Amino acid sequence: MVCVLGLNAYHGDASACIVRDGVLVAAAEEERFRRVKHWAGFPELAIRYCLQEAGVGLGQVDRVAINRDPKANLWRKLAFSLRQRPELGYLLDRLRHARRWASIEDEFAERFPGVELGGRVRYVEHHLAHLASAFLVSPFDEAVAVSVDGSGDFATAAWGVGRGTGVALDGRIPFPHSLGIFYEAMTHFLGFPHYGDEYKVMGLAPYGEAKYLDPLMDVVDIRRDGTFRLNLRYFRHHRERRTFEWQDCAPVSGPLFSDALEGLLGPKRRPDEPLDQRHRDLARSVQRLYEEAFFNLLNRLHERYRLPAVVLSGGCAFNSVANGKVYARTPFERCYVQAAAGDAGGAIGAAFHTWYSLRPERRGFVMEHASWGPGYSDDEIARLVEGRLAPADRTVTVRRVADEAARLREVAAAIAAGKVVGWFQGRMEWGPRALGNRSILGDPRRADMKDILNLKIKRRESFRPFAPSILREAVPDWFETDGDVPFMMQVFQIRPGRRAAIPAVTHVDGSGRLQTVDAAANPLYYRLIEAFRDLTGVPMVLNTSFNENEPIVCRPEEALDCFLRTRMDMLAIGGFVLTRVEEGAGADAAPESAAVE
C-alpha cells in the first residue's frame, strides 16, 4: 500500500486529500471544519479527516505532496524585482511566505506532536499541480491541459498536454500579467470586496451590455499568439503590498487597481452603493473581455496540439459562463473541469502527480462524483436529534422514515408544494458546489422560488441565479447540449420552449448553470429527482448550497442549526424527516403516507 497526502496550504481554500494505491480516498477543504469561508493556513483538520478516512497514521504516509514549489521560476522572480523595484513591504511578504513552505516539516511536528512524518515532502509547481488536478482524474487518455488563475509560483497561466499518466507543462504566462487578477480587480471596482466574489460579476453580467469593452481593451492586451498582457498602469499588485492575510483566517486583500482605472472607467462603486445600469454594463464588459482572452488562448492551443479534448483548471476555471461556450467558441469537442478546479484542487493535482511519479502504470481512477468528504450514520444523526430537540417541542416534527421510497416521495411532494427543503445525505461534496449531498432544494417551476429562498435562507443579491440539477438522460430535451456536467461547472442555454416551465432556474439571458445527475454517481439524489419528475413531469430540482452566509454545512449539527435558525420548511437528514410545524398547526400535521419506525 502506498499513500500520498496532498495539500494546498498557506493559501485561500486550504485543503487536503489522500490517494491510496492510485485511488482517491478522501478530500476536503479546511473551511468546512473551521466554519470560515475560504480559510487559509495549514489544513490540519482536513489532514486529520483524510488520515482517518484512509485508516492510516501520519507515519504511514509515503509522500506529502504540496501544490507549490518555492524554487520554481527563481530567475523570473529576480529579474522582476530588479526591473519593477517593488516596495520593501511587498518583498518582505514574499520572503515570509516562502519561509512557511520551507518549514512545512516543522509545521507537521507542531500540529502532530510525537508523531514522525513518514514520507518525504515533494513540492509540485503550482500550475503543474493545477494541470495534473484536471487531467489525471479526467476520463481522457490524451488532452490539452490549461490552467488560468491569479498567480502561483510566479506564473498566472500555463498549458501543456496530458498523456497517459503524465502531464507536460509546455508554456506559462509570467506574473504580473494575469486574467485572474484582472477579473478580481474589476470585481473590487464593482464594489464586491470579498475573496471569491467574482461569481457575483458573472451573475450580474447578463443584465448589462458590453458598452465598456473598447476602453477595457486598453487594460488587457490580447495577443495573436494566444497570450495576454496587462497594462500595468491600471494596477498596483506588481509593486505594492496587497495586505494579504493568509494564516489561520479568511484571506483578505487590498485594492488591486490604480487610480488610473477610475480615470478610464469613471468612479468605482462603493460596496453600500446601489447597483445601476453602468455597473451592469461594466460587468458584462468584463465578462466579455475575459472570454475574448480565454478563447484566444484556447484556440491557439488547439491549433498547436490538434487534440479534441481539453481540461481546465485554476481559479478562472470557475467561470462557468465561459466554460459553457467552449464548444461554440473553439474546435474542442470534449471538456472536463474537476469539482475543485481552483487552489483547493491543487492538493489533488500534487497528490496524483506524485503518485504517478512513483507508479507510472496505466491510469485507472476517474473523478466521476464529488463525494469525498465526511459522512454520518443514522445512529449519529439520531443521537443529535434526540439531544437537541425536546419531546415537548411542538415547532418541529421529527420522524424516522424507514422506507426509502416513501421518504423520497414525501420530500419530492414537499418540493412540489413550494416548500424549501434541506437535503443532507451521504458524504460531503469536494469543491465549492453543493451537488446533492449538502443541498437546499426547491421547485424550479415556481417563478417566486428565488424570492422565497432569499427571504427564508440565502439573503443574497437578487441578480444571482440558482442552478438546476437534472436527470442525465433528460438533458438534451431541456438544454442546448448533451454532455456530462456533474460538477455544475458549465452554463448552457435552456431550450427556448422550456424556459417558461422552469423560471426559477432560468437566468435572465435564458441560461442555466447545469448539473447533470447520474444514477451511478449519486443514486439517492437521482431517485429523489425521479420522484419529483413522477409528480410534476419536470426531471429536475432547484439546487443551492446548504448554508447561510457560511461554508456549506459539513456535520449534522451544522445542518440542524441552519434548519432551526432559518425559515426552511423541511430537513431530510439521513433517514430522518424534520418538518417545521406551521403556526396554528399541531404535531399531527405530519403526512400519513410515510412509513415511520
User: For the segment 18-44, what is each residue's pLDDT rounded down to a tens digit?
Assistant: 999 999 999 999 999 999 999 999 999
| Rounded Cα gap, residues 157 and 173, in angstroms | 5
| CA dist list (Å): 306 to 140, 298, 302, 452, 528 | 15, 11, 5, 48, 42
The correct answer on CATH 3.90.280.10 for the domain covering 174-337 is no
The pLDDT confidence band at residue 252, using thresholds 50, 70 and 90, is confident
Res. 596: pLDDT tops 60: no
Residue 592 — very low, low, confident or very high, per pLDDT cuts 50/70/90? very low
Cell numbers for 435: 451537488
3-class state of residue 150 by DSSP: strand
Maximum Cα–Cα distance for the chain, whole Å?
A: 76
Instruction: Over range 529-556, report the average pLDDT.
Output: 97
Ranking 67-71, 158-162, 248-252, 425-429 by mean pLDDT, the lowest is 248-252
Q: Which amino acid does the sequence have at 40?
A: A
Q: What is the tens place of the pLDDT at every residue in 275-293?
A: 999 999 999 999 999 999 9
Is pLDDT at 594 greater than 50 in this prediction?
no
Helix (H) or strand (E) holding 127: helix 126-135
Q: What percentage of the chain reaches a pLDDT higher than 70?
A: 90
* Arch. (CATH architecture) of 3-135+341-358: 2-Layer Sandwich (3.30)
For the cut 60, the answer to whether the pLDDT of residue 262 exceeds it is: yes
Residues 81 and 77: their CA atoms lie apart, in Å, by 6
| Measured distance CA(570)–CA(414) in Å, rounded | 8
Q: Could you tell me which residues are beta bridge partners of residue 155?
A: 152, 174
The DSSP code for 117 is -
Q: 378-589 adopts what CATH topology?
A: DHBP synthase (3.90.870)
Residues in CB range of 95: below 8 A, 6 or more apart: none
pLDDT for 86 = 57
- Flag whether pLDDT at 244 surpasses 80: no
Q: Which residues contact 395 (CB under 8 A, 6 or more apart)?
A: 580, 581
**CA distance to 1, 192, 456, 579, per residue, from 421 (Å):** 42, 29, 11, 9
> pLDDT value at position 549?
86
Identify which of 484, 487, 465 has the alpha carbon closest to the alpha carbon of residue 476.
484
- Give the residue ranges of DSSP H helices in 457-501: 475-478
The predicted pLDDT at position 389 comes to 82
State which H helix or E strand residue 556 sits in: helix 556-565
- In this prediction, residues 301-319 reach a mean pLDDT of 98
146 CB-side CA count, 13 A = 28
Dihedral pair phi/psi, residue 195, rounded to 5°: -60, 125
Instruction: Report the pLDDT averaged over residues 147-168.
Output: 95
Strands of the sheet containing 570-573, edge to edge, are: 396-400, 576-580, 570-573, 421-424, 438-442, 540-545, 467-471, 511-517, 490-493
Average pLDDT, the chain: 91
DSSP state, 173?
A: E
Binning pLDDT at 50, 70 and 90, where does residue 462 land? confident
Q: Are 220 and 214 in contact (CB under 8 A)?
A: no
> How confident is the model at residue 443, as a pLDDT?
98
Q: Which residue's C-alpha cell is 403516507?
A: 593
pLDDT score recorded for residue 96:
58
pLDDT value of position 1: 87
CB 476 within 8 A of CB 306: no
Going from the C-alpha of 55 to that of each of 18, 35, 48, 58, 60, the distances in angstroms are 11, 25, 10, 10, 10
- The distance of Cα 179 from the centroid of its chain, to the nearest Å, equals 18
Burial of 243 (0-12, 13-18, 19+ CB in 10 A): exposed
Give the residue extent of every domain in the chain. 3-135+341-358, 174-337, 378-589
- Quick one: which of 364, 307, 372 has its CA closest to 338? 372
174-337 and 378-589 share one fold: no
**pLDDT value for 590:** 40
Dig out the grid coordinates for 349 from the structure: 493535482
Place of cell 476517474: 366
Rounded Cα distance between 68 and 84, Å, is 24
Most confident of 218-222, 458-462, 589-593: 218-222
Give the residue-averaged pLDDT of 469-491.
97
pLDDT band per the 50, 70, 90 thresholds, residue 101: low
CA–CA distance, 208 with 202 (Å, rounded to integer)? 11
What pTM, to 2 d.p., does this model score?
0.93
Confidence of residue 593 (pLDDT cuts 50, 70, 90): very low
Minimum mean pLDDT range among 376-390, 513-527, 528-542: 376-390
DSSP H helices, 359-444, are 378-388, 404-416
Q: What is the pLDDT of residue 530?
A: 98
Predicted confidence band at 362 (pLDDT cuts at 50, 70, 90)?
confident
Q: What phi, psi does 122 have (nearest 5°)?
A: -125, 125
Strand partners, 168: 161
> Could you please report the per-residue DSSP string of 201-254?
HHHHGGGS--TTHHHHTTTEEE-TTS-EEE-GGGB-TTTS----B-SSB--B--
What helix, strand, coil percent values describe the chain, rounded to 5? 40, 20, 40
pLDDT of residue 364: 85
Residue 188 confidence (pLDDT): 96
Tell me: the pLDDT tens digits for 116-131? 888 899 999 999 999 9
pLDDT score at 459: 78
